[in-house]
Structure 1
Amino acid sequence: MTEINLLIIVTVISLFISLFLAFFLLTVKSEHKTSNVLFALFLIITSIDVCEPLFNSMVDGPSNLGMLRNTFAYLQIPVFYLYVLSVCYSDFKLSAKHLLHLLPFLIGNLLLLPRFYTVDLASKINFLQNRQHMIELQFNHILIHVQLLVYLVAVFMILRKAKKLYQENYTGTNIQSYNWLFQFTTLLTIFYLIALFKNIFKFSDYPNISESIKIGLLLFQLPIVCWYLFKALNNPGLFRSVDSKLKLVKHIISEEKKTEQLVVSEEEYNEELLKLKQYMVEEKPFLNPSLTIQEVSNEIKVPVRDLSLLINHKLGQHFFDFINTYRIENAKDILKDATKSRLTILEILYEVGFNSKSSFNTAFKKHTGLTPTLYRKQL
């Protein structure tokens, strides 16, 4: 089997799976419709990009459609960026301002109008044969990779902020969704860096190396996308977004320092802390696996902003860790109780407010240095 045939076979398999997944995301009933549509669009645009071997086998010579297909690569990372925003923030909505992400794609194609899109076939062939000396192609090549790096940095910044906001305001195991999205973005980053390496060889004297890397990328891409979708679709409840209008505690403190406002007096701090601890002990709200800081705020009549500052700044904990501390202490009491020795670890974690064995084990080991099973054995 020749390398060209292998490339076409791999391309067809990749296209089939990607387009099938895109069709599923566009048709499945879900409360995460915007996220599903954006990820489906990402898969479709990626399919357009990777179908080059199949496209070239069907089209004889350079064409406007072929060049347009190449420039669709401009749209991949902006669509993924919007997808990440839609997953991280519950109030995300597509609007006219998001059309600005089309600018690099439009600029790249406008530059190609005079000497490619509007000329005859012979001129197109000459343009591509001398591509190393064509300023339009050089500009597009540089712009698309600069765009890639900028968007990837932006995505990692969004994920970092969203995770912190979640930890400061929520308690569920939904933090895993951000971990998976971070892992997926990391794998995509590796994928795009390899693609950049491939493009270097594409414009060198070793185009065969570029083609070999291309096959590897096609094989690498499929398991990444399938793994992420398997995680996301198997655990749709984990994707609980935060409000983009929420502010990090460090930003609240910074703003108050600028306006020379006092956050709370020492006396108010002690009163609110006493009220919070009393509520936690008497009412045990931590038993609710999806407890939010807003719900606690409503119950103890302390503004969310003040409560967030109290826990995150004064106590030096995220709300996420603060609540888990009470859950773990409750779990330790159950593990020590001889009358409850028949309870399994799974039953205990559900009883104290966790809904995931992995998150329970992680939190328990963080607070005690031991897994729940080892802790029970040492009693």
Structure 2
Amino acid sequence: MSNNNLISIISLIAVFVSLLLAFFLLTVSTKNKLANILLASFIILNAIDLSGWFIFYITKDYPNIEVFRWSTSWLINPLFYLYALSICFSDFRLKIKHLLHAIPFLLDNLVLLFKVYVVDLASKIHFLENYRDSAMRQILLIGGHLQFAYYIIAIFFILRRYKKIYQENYTDNTTITYKWLFQLTVVIVIVHSIVMFKDFLMFNGSNDVFNKAQIIVGINAVFILCWFVLKALYSPDLFRGIDSRIQPAGNLATETAVNTQIVKGIVSLENKEDILRIKEYMVQHEPYLEPSLTIQDLADQINVPVRDLSILINNQLGQHFFDFVNEYRIEKAMKILKDPARSNLTILEVLYEIGFNSKSSFNTSFKKHTNLTPTAYRQKHS
């Protein structure tokens, strides 16, 4: 079997799996429908791009369709960026301003309008036959790689902000939004790096190695899509977004310092009293036993503005809300593990009782606090 035939078969499989996954995302019941639509659109456009390895034998007789198919690749990276926003921030909505992301797509089609769309058939065919070695293709490929780099960097900034805000305001460690999006982004970066290497080989005339690189890209695409399918089938609604209007505590503290002359690291008498009141409430009422406790929930319970509470915990105490609450959970777990009367409880039962939902997160937090695993701690104090 020739390399071209093998590439065509692999790409055909990848496109089929892509469309299957997109159909699932568009029809499955979920709270975050917008995220699914954006991800499905991202996958469909990737399928259109992959289809070039076999569909060219059909579209070469329809130049307008073929070159328009090329141009849709400019929408892939913006869609992934918008998808990242939609799963990280629960209040994200598409707005008119997001159409600005389509400018490269529109500019490309504007150029194609005069080079392909409105010219005679002979000129269209001449353009297709000479496009592979043309300067225009090289410029567009370089532009596409630069666009990819821009959006990937933007997504990593989104992830950093999401993680910071989540740790400062939430304690439910079952969320996998960050982990999923980070893994997905890294995988896409790796695959795109292979694509860049493939394009470099094409420019240098290494056709044999180029074809092998094409096969590697196709196989990777199939495996990644299968990973997508498994994720979607087993966890169709596993993401938890945060409100994008929430500001990191560092920003709030800076604003407060300007307005009230509170300097980070210097705790006023009033702040000390508030901190003592919060700690007493945590010990007496044990709100941390609620797995989904948020900083807004705690602020409502102790009747303190959430902005002030965030500054007190994240800035004055120098802790994320996530770590602040988990300290009380671990202290509670230590008491239970040392209690002979409760030695019949399993580690899993203990972690559920104190507000954790994940064994791995409990073990990580426990070891961070005590330098021992829960099992080792129990054995030491038995």
Instruction: Give the TM-score of the pair, scaled to structure 1.
Output: 0.94
- Give the secondary-structure state (helix, strand or coil) at the position aligned to 1:343: coil
- Deviation, structure 1 residue 145: 1.5
- Deviation, structure 1 residue 300: 0.9
- Deviation, structure 1 residue 217: 1.5
**Is 1:189 aligned to 2:165, yes or no?**
no
- Deviation, structure 1 residue 115: 2.1
Which deviates more from structure 2 when the two are superposed, residues 209-218 or residues 254-263?
254-263
Contact preservation (8 Å) 2:351, 2:357: yes
Contact preservation (8 Å) 2:38, 2:79: yes
For 1:86 and 1:280, the matched residues in 2 are separated by: 34
- Deviation, structure 1 residue 231: 3.8
**Is 1:30 aligned to 2:3, yes or no?**
no
Report 1:61-100 matches (<5 A): 63-100=63-100
- Deviation, structure 1 residue 9: 1.6
Post-superposition CA distance 1:187-206 (Å, at most 9, x none): 11111121122122223312
- Deviation, structure 1 residue 210: 2.5
For 1:232 and 1:324, the matched residues in 2 are separated by: 30
- Give the secondary-structure state (helix, strand or coil) at the position aligned to 2:356: coil
2:300 pairs with one of 284, 289, 298: 298
Go from structure 1 to structure 2 and tell me whether the alpha carbon gap of 1:315 and 1:236 turns closer, same or farther (over 3 Å shift). Answer: farther
Contact preservation (8 Å) 1:116, 1:123: yes
Post-superposition CA distance 1:346-370 (Å, at most 9, x none): 1111011011112111211222222
Post-superposition CA distance 1:136-192 (Å, at most 9, x none): 434322221211110000000001101100000000014432122111111111111
- Give the secondary-structure state (helix, strand or coil) at the position aligned to 1:40: helix
**Is 1:252 aligned to 2:256, yes or no?**
no
Q: Which residue of 1 aligns with 2:10?
A: 10
Q: Which residue of 2 aligns with 1:219?
A: 219
- Deviation, structure 1 residue 48: 0.3
For 1:260 and 1:137, the matched residues in 2 are separated by: 58
Go from structure 1 to structure 2 and tell me whether the alpha carbon gap of 1:208 and 1:72 turns closer, same or farther (over 3 Å shift). Answer: farther
For 1:218 and 1:70, the matched residues in 2 are separated by: 17
Q: Which residue of 2 aligns with 1:367?
A: 369
Post-superposition CA distance 1:314-342 (Å, at most 9, x none): 11110011111111111111111111111
Instruction: Give the TM-score of the pair, scaled to structure 2.
Output: 0.93
Contact preservation (8 Å) 1:127, 1:134: no
Letter in 1 for 2:299: S
Letter in 2 for 1:321: D
Which deviates more from structure 2 when the two are superposed, residues 4-13 or residues 298-307?
4-13
Report 1:150-189 matches (<5 A): 150-189=150-189
Q: Percent identity?
A: 48
Contact preservation (8 Å) 2:63, 2:125: no
Contact preservation (8 Å) 2:60, 2:66: no
Letter in 2 for 1:48: I
Aligned length: 379
For 2:8 and 2:189, the matched residues in 1 are separated by: 25
- Deviation, structure 1 residue 237: 5.8
- Of structures 1 and 2, the one scoring higher in RCO (CA 8 A, sep 6+) is 2
Contact preservation (8 Å) 1:38, 1:83: yes
For 2:68 and 2:119, the matched residues in 1 are separated by: 15
Q: Which residue of 2 aligns with 1:326?
A: 328
- Give the secondary-structure state (helix, strand or coil) at the position aligned to 1:72: helix
Which deviates more from structure 2 when the two are superposed, residues 43-52 or residues 3-12?
3-12
For 1:225 and 1:166, the matched residues in 2 are separated by: 29
For 2:246 and 2:252, the matched residues in 1 are separated by: 10
For 2:233 and 2:259, the matched residues in 1 are separated by: 46
Contact preservation (8 Å) 1:286, 1:327: yes
Q: Which runs of 5+ in 2 are unaligned?
A: none
For 2:183 and 2:118, the matched residues in 1 are separated by: 43
Letter in 1 for 2:38: L
2:357 pairs with one of 355, 358, 363: 355
- Give the secondary-structure state (helix, strand or coil) at the position aligned to 2:245: coil
For 2:360 and 2:76, the matched residues in 1 are separated by: 33
For 2:213 and 2:185, the matched residues in 1 are separated by: 20
1:342 pairs with one of 341, 344, 358: 344
Q: Which residue of 1 aligns with 2:205?
A: 205
Post-superposition CA distance 1:232-277 (Å, at most 9, x none): 5534564211110111112122334455643796121111101110
For 2:364 and 2:232, the matched residues in 1 are separated by: 21
Q: Which residue of 2 aligns with 1:316?
A: 318
- Give the secondary-structure state (helix, strand or coil) at the position aligned to 2:351: helix
For 1:328 and 1:175, the matched residues in 2 are separated by: 20
Contact preservation (8 Å) 1:272, 1:302: no
- Deviation, structure 1 residue 21: 0.9
- Deviation, structure 1 residue 10: 1.0
Go from structure 1 to structure 2 and tell me whether the alpha carbon gap of 1:354 and 1:73 turns closer, same or farther (over 3 Å shift). Answer: same
For 2:48 and 2:19, the matched residues in 1 are separated by: 10
The Cα RMSD (Å) is 2.1
1:282 pairs with one of 281, 284, 300: 284
